[in-house]
Structure 1
Amino acid sequence: MSEATGESLVLTERHAGYRVLVLNRPDRLNAFTEPLHLALRDALSDAAADPECRALILTGAGRGFCAGQDLSARNFAPDVEPDLSRTLEAFYNPLVRQIRDLPMPLICAVNGVAAGAGASLAFHGDLVLAARSAKFLQAFAKLGLIPDAGGTWLLPRLAGRARARGMALLAEPITAEQAEAWGMIWRVIDDADLMAEAHRLAAQLAQAPTYGLALIRRAFDASETNDLDAQLQVESDLQGEAGRSPDYREGVAAFLEKRPARFTGRKR
């Protein structure tokens, strides 16, 4: 049972244990404007503050996930020198940091084009599902720009150096099947089944030890820049935190008693 709230720039559907956030500018393929940034950040903050929300799905209304920056907001006068650094520092960078710090896993259900910062947004998901018709596009080179919203950090790690540079320099779309074959996303799903699979995974994650899942993300993120010794220390520190959670005790008890675990998802 779900409850849809508000015809706004980001729609929120509340389900048992998880939420669905829907980017809601379908006439512009859910391209980013400053109000959309703020609405998404508010929706993420609200979900993060809800102890009953233990997983998130992010998707787009209409026929696309997110087309990146809305260029209609970039029609500068000839004598105006744009300051895109301000846009990144004020909007995109805080959004990326907020997503990476979520206390629950994020499923991105890519239901069409994910371009520019929209592709980066999708790739920041913990689990990325893509409709078979979906495409990912790094369009920045067509505008004389570089990938942002973490794109230059994500792409080489997801696709490898050669493929990342090819995607960024040639600005050619890749299919959902290519993205799956290259290890950039979790799974390709038939279009008609995309949201059903996203809901299935979210319901599964909502019953999992949420705090431990957030620590898994922290560990993997740290491994991107650590050597082995540093990562062993990260594992030691985070495992210590995980072991102090009630879900660890519950998991051990459930194993010994041969019953399903009843996780709360809480730190303490």
Structure 2
Amino acid sequence: MSLPTFKYFETSLSPSGVYEFAFNRPHIYNALSKEVYKEWLDATVWAAQDDRVKVFVLTGRGKYYCSGQEIKRPDFATEAGDQADTAKRAITKGLVTALIDFPKLLIAAVNGPAYGFAVTSLALCDVVYATPDATFTTPFMKLAFCAEACSSYTFPKIMGNTRANEMLLMGRTLSVDEMVECGFVSRTIAKDRLREETMKLAEEATNFSSAALKVTKDLVRDPERPILHQVNNNEMARLHLQVRTPESIASLNAFVDASEKRREERKAAKSKL
């Protein structure tokens, strides 16, 4: 049986069962769109069910792990725009659900800077490795958003309240050393060794009993799965409302204005060369 193929991800499945799933939009820093979320969801659901997959490795290609959600001008005034945002939110919520329930070993190899959902979703992985240049940013307050991907629960649980609040409420970027110190990242691996070392560790894990891995993961995760699902429901309901507030709409428009201005300035600078 053939493997699923994806437009926005580079994938491979080793004979032993390591499935590598890599963000592959390096020209835009692996940014997330509705289509990217959908492929991520489809791959996660497929990998959970296919017996050929024993370990799922999530990583990125290029300089960034993932720059987070593509920011576009909000369009809630039209029915089509409002429905499109609602549909995207449903896909994102479904992806979080799939990550919460994922029954196999899920390893993240963060190969560079990570933003937004790319950071919050890491807390739902079983193990996180990262390069020395990796940084972690959740710029939700700058955009008048709110916490997502269960980060309102997982971040304080993993990092402690004050460190979590620095990220979620103050938008502070944390270094990989800080994330290792607070237990969010397992350890750092040199940039030129990250892929090789992570795949090696994943391959070693395929030698273990799949049943034993699932049972142990369930023992770790089952007590909090109902909580995580409820948190996911609450966060997505709040986010649906929050992105429609005047403050969020103004912040999004200002972000797009600034981005367009920078592009025009770069074009003008190139034309003078």
After TM superposition, the structure 1 = structure 2 runs for residues 1-268 of structure 1, keeping only pairs within 5 Å, are 8-16=7-15, 17-72=17-72, 75-77=73-75, 79=77, 86=86, 89-224=89-224
Q: What secondary structure does 2:57 align onto? A: strand
- Give yes or no for contact 1:88–1:149 (8 Å, CA) kept in 2: no
Please name the residue that 1:231 is paired with.
none
Please name the residue that 2:264 is paired with.
none
Distance 1:92 1:78 in 2: 18
- Give yes or no for contact 1:53–1:206 (8 Å, CA) kept in 2: no
Q: What secondary structure does 1:203 align onto? A: helix
Distance 1:127 1:137 in 2: 19
Cα–Cα, structure 1 residues 212 and 87, in superposed 2: closer, same or farther, change >3 Å? farther
Task: Give me the identity figure in percent.
Answer: 25
- Give yes or no for contact 1:28–1:70 (8 Å, CA) kept in 2: no
Q: What secondary structure does 1:184 align onto? A: coil
Distance 1:46 1:225 in 2: 20
Distance 1:152 1:88 in 2: 20
Distance 2:156 2:178 in 1: 15
Distance 1:47 1:121 in 2: 17
- Give yes or no for contact 1:111–1:130 (8 Å, CA) kept in 2: yes
TM-score normalised by length of structure 2: 0.74
Distance 1:87 1:140 in 2: 20
**C-alpha displacement at 1:173, in angstroms?**
0.8
What amino acid maps onto 1:199 in structure 2?
M
Structure 1 unmatched ranges of 5 or more: 227-268
Distance 1:49 1:224 in 2: 22
**C-alpha displacement at 1:132, in angstroms?**
0.7
Distance 1:132 1:84 in 2: 38
**C-alpha displacement at 1:224, in angstroms?**
4.4
Spell out, residue by residue over 1:34-79, the C-alpha distance to the aligned partner (whole angstroms, 9 max, x if none). Answer: 111111122223322321211011001211112221113xx12484
Distance 2:150 2:92 in 1: 9
Higher RCO by CA contacts (8 Å cutoff, separation 6 or greater): 2
What amino acid maps onto 2:34 in structure 1?
E
Structure 2 unmatched ranges of 5 or more: 227-273
Cα–Cα, structure 1 residues 41 and 18, in superposed 2: closer, same or farther, change >3 Å? same
**C-alpha displacement at 1:215, in angstroms?**
2.5
Range with bigger deviation, 134-143 or 207-216: 207-216
Cα–Cα, structure 1 residues 225 and 55, in superposed 2: closer, same or farther, change >3 Å? closer
What amino acid maps onto 2:141 in structure 1?
A
**C-alpha displacement at 1:212, in angstroms?**
2.2
RMSD (CA atoms): 2.6
Q: What secondary structure does 1:13 align onto? A: strand
User: Structure 1 or 2: larger helix share?
Assistant: 2
Distance 1:107 1:164 in 2: 22
